[in-house]
Amino acid sequence: MKTRSLLTGLALAFLTSTAAHAGDVRIMWYSDGVEGEVMKDLVGRFMKENPGINVILDNVAYSVIKEQLPVQLEAGNGPDIARVTAIKDLSRHWLDLRPLVKDAKYWDDNFGLQADWMRPDGSNQISGFMTQITLTGGFANKTLFDQAGVPIPGPKATWEDWAAASKKVQESQQVPFAMAIDRSGHRITAPLLSYGANYIGSDGKPAPLDQGAKDYLTKFVDWADDGTVSKDVWVSAAGNTYRAAADDFINGQLAFYYSGSWQVANLATKIGNNFDWVAVGSPCGPAACTGMPGGAALVAVKYTKNPKDVATVMDWFAQEKIVKEFSERTLFLPGNKAVVDKGGLDFKSDNEQAKAALNVFVESTKTTSEAALKLPGWRWSDTVYAAIVTRIGQTLAGELKIDDAFTRIDSDIAQKVKDAGK
């Protein structure tokens, strides 16, 4: 996979360096589900309507976006448009579309809520738009709960309620684990915020771990030690490598799985009729019942040779009707305010569980905390996430005590901030 990614990256580096023909717009795209196919279809339609612009869609692995695109951008290369998740971290490479788009007000009105997530601090730049808004949340294996005779906890249930109920299901149904959370700083930040954690210091830089964060992380490690939470996914890598626990849930090995809205299509496709499952939103802590927002954005790259054509492409894909169609066909939550406000999204799925799950996520957006909404646009989010995942992973593997992990998380973050300042 890695070799293939490297070769793809090299090929793309070569191709992007030759993509300077007038009218050529190269999009670097990755897919979690079916969105690559949907995008291919939409690109075809765009080119029929705009015969002067040739859009080349490069479907690449996510690792290429994560590891190789930043290197290309640092070298002043890259595609004309890219679908990315590290939107704030790379924001200095995005093109300001404000003077180029047809109606900047349309962009401000409909994509303004997330505009800060993808532009350099203090600017009013229009860099692109979110192709999907995601929200973390939980999924319960309803069949296991029913078979165990344990009622599924209600909307205001706490993390402790979910742990207790899932543990009962685990013991009754003899599944390996009661709960699992993806090995991801973004995912585990949701319960931390619900426990009152605040990552952002008064100077805008990372603050040391506070009591809220420490309380939940201590609980998480205890749950892993007593077998309530799956250790496997967290000890299965070093550093801040991402690992999802989706396969364990899909295989019926978990009562409760905490991930996010982007898993809906995946679960619907892979679970099929094997068992019933439901989305349950984010459990509560003492401070909130919040999930973590996020998502992927389509952004224009400032090194493009064809900024006007790029703006035409972005204008077309940002249209309300196109965003609506894209969301309905991909089962993604839309990032366009008008589409959200008007409602009436007709998700193209025969799977009633998937449709119900998407509605739960739409509903859960209402309980998203202020602190959670700030993090996607905060420069140091990834740094904090990485430190937490690395050190808690080591703690669960038995290499660190929890108090040492807290000390290391703080010193790791401080060192990164210092490195960035050099």
Partner 1 sequence: MTTPSLSNLLMAPVNAVMRVIDAPLRRLQKATGIGGMAAFFLAPNMLIFGIFVLLPLVINFVYSMTGGTAFFLSERDFIGGAQYSRLFECQNYLDPMSCQEDAFWTAVGNTFWFVVLQVSLMILTALITALILNRELAARSFWRAVFFFPVLLSPVVVGLIWKWILQRQGLLNFGLYQFGMDPYTWLTDRNWTFAATIGVSLWAHMGFYALIILAGLQAIPKDLYEAAEMDGTKPARVFWRITLPLLAPNLLVVVVLALIKSVQVFDEIYVLTGGGPGTSTLFLTQYIYETGFASALRNPGLAAAASILMGTVLVVLTLIQLGIGKRGENKGKR
Q: Kindly list the residues in this chain that would bind partner 1 in the complex (CB under 8 A).
A: 1-4, 66-67, 70-71, 74-75, 89, 176, 231-232, 235-241, 243, 251, 253, 382-383, 385-386, 393-394, 396-400, 404, 408, 415-416, 419-420, 422
Tell me the two tokens of residue 123. 């600017």
Quote the CA–CA distance of 420 and 354 in Å, as a whole number: 42
Q: Give least dist CB 237 to partner 1, A.
A: 3
Quote the CA–CA distance of 320 and 167 in Å, as a whole number: 45
Q: Give least dist CB 61 to partner 1, A.
A: 12
Quote the CA–CA distance of 113 and 337 in Å, as a whole number: 8
Cβ proximity to partner 1: between 101 and 178 the closer is 178
Q: Give least dist CB 17 to partner 1, A.
A: 16
User: For residue 366, what are the contacts with CB-CB under 8 A and spacing of at least 6?
Assistant: none
Cβ proximity to partner 1: between 181 and 331 the closer is 181
Tell me the two tokens of residue 185. 């700083």
Cβ proximity to partner 1: between 348 and 408 the closer is 408
Q: Give least dist CB 3 to partner 1, A.
A: 6
**Residue at 364: amino acid letter:** S
Tell me the two tokens of residue 362. 């739409």
Q: Give least dist CB 78 to partner 1, A.
A: 13
Q: Give least dist CB 184 to partner 1, A.
A: 12
Cβ proximity to partner 1: between 39 and 396 the closer is 396
Q: Give least dist CB 67 to partner 1, A.
A: 6
Q: Is residue 300 within a helix (H) or strand (E), and if so which, with residue range? A: strand 293-300
Cβ proximity to partner 1: between 63 and 198 the closer is 63
Q: Give least dist CB 360 to partner 1, A.
A: 29
Cβ proximity to partner 1: between 53 and 64 the closer is 64
Report CA-CA distances (Å) from 174 to 139, 178, 312. 19, 9, 56
The DSSP line for 137-195 is EEEEEHHHHHHHT-PPP-TT-BHHHHHHHHHHHHHHHT-SEEEEE-B-HHHHHHHHHHT
How do strand 254-260 and strand 24-29 relate by DSSP bridges? unpaired
User: For residue 74, what are the contacts with CB-CB under 8 A and spacing of at least 6?
Assistant: none
Cβ proximity to partner 1: between 337 and 416 the closer is 416
> Do the beta carbons of residue 289 and residue 199 sit within 8 Å?
no
Quote the CA–CA distance of 50 and 44 in Å, as a whole number: 10
Residue 299: phi and psi, rounded to 5, are -125, 150
Quote the CA–CA distance of 242 and 238 in Å, as a whole number: 10
Q: 3-class SS at 117?
A: helix
Q: 3-class SS at 256?
A: strand
Q: Give least dist CB 121 to partner 1, A.
A: 16
Cβ proximity to partner 1: between 352 and 419 the closer is 419
Cβ proximity to partner 1: between 257 and 316 the closer is 257
